[in-house]
Amino acid sequence: MNFALWIIAGLLALASLGGGALLLVRPKAKLAASGWAWVEDFGSGTIKAIGGLKVLAAVGLILPAALDIAPVLVPLAAVGWVLLMVGAIITHVRRHEPPAVVVNLALLTLAAFVVVGRFGPESFTG
């Protein structure tokens, strides 16, 4: 189970880092034109903040455990990812975008698995 948790955390971190970096680097108009229509509902500052949170989540999912510095931050980062996905699901439901909701539900489920696993049977402190 520890191996599965590392793999899932790594995949979530890659997705989070990629998406967060795009939100931080690309202008709102280019994001909207490339299929991220949800950005039209938010200001540029909010989009950058979401991008920053995603990058922080990516770092928090891997580095604390890999460096053995405050590994309790790993499940906390996964909790943050769950909260981001709840917000994304709400946004996509409001916008009537079912495929995006399904993707966000899958990511939420993976992050919840990391939360349960790292706070529970595969805790870094146990």
Domain boundaries, the chain: 2-119
CA distance linking residue 44 with residue 64, whole number of Å: 30
Token digits of residue 23: 């939100």
Residues in CB range of 74: below 8 A, 6 or more apart: 9, 60, 61, 62, 64, 65, 114, 118, 124
CA distance linking residue 80 with residue 100, whole number of Å: 19
Q: pTM of the full predicted structure? A: 0.91
Q: How many CB atoms lie within 10 A of CB 123?
A: 13
pLDDT digits (tens, 9 = 90+) for 85-99: 999 999 999 999 999
pLDDT digits (tens, 9 = 90+) for 34-86: 999 999 999 999 999 999 999 999 999 999 999 999 999 999 999 999 999 99
